[in-house]
């Protein structure tokens, strides 16, 4: 029963446009504080350290996700 209620609430949340509005607000706040620039710079550092010809997308994500999440909390 709880799952059905959750799905119904999420469906209404999406249909009303509220989910998109909140996501856009969060995106704008993070970008205004330079979060995207910090993460981009960190990605470049990792690629230089591991060599662009050998680093995989999985390795990059494994290294960058914890960093990005920690920066998100700080903003």
pTM: 0.68
Which residues touch 42 (CB under 8 Å, ≥6 apart)?
Answer: 64, 67, 68
Q: How far apart are CA 38 and CA 28, in angstroms?
A: 15
Computed over its alpha carbons, how large is the radius of gyration of the chain?
17
Residue 11: Cβ within 10 Å count: 10
User: Mind listing the pLDDT tens digit for each residue in 2-51?
Assistant: 999 999 999 999 999 999 999 999 999 998 999 999 999 999 999 999 88
């Amino acid at each position: 029963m709880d799952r059905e209620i959750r799905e119904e609430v999420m469906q209404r949340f999406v249909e009303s446009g509220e989910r998109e509005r909140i996501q856009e607000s969060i995106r704008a706040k993070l970008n205004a504080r330079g979060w995207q620039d910090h993460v981009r710079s960190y990605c470049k550092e990792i690629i230089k350290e591991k060599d662009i010809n050998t680093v995989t997308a999985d390795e990059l994500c494994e290294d960058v996700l914890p960093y990005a999440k920690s920066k998100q909390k700080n903003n």
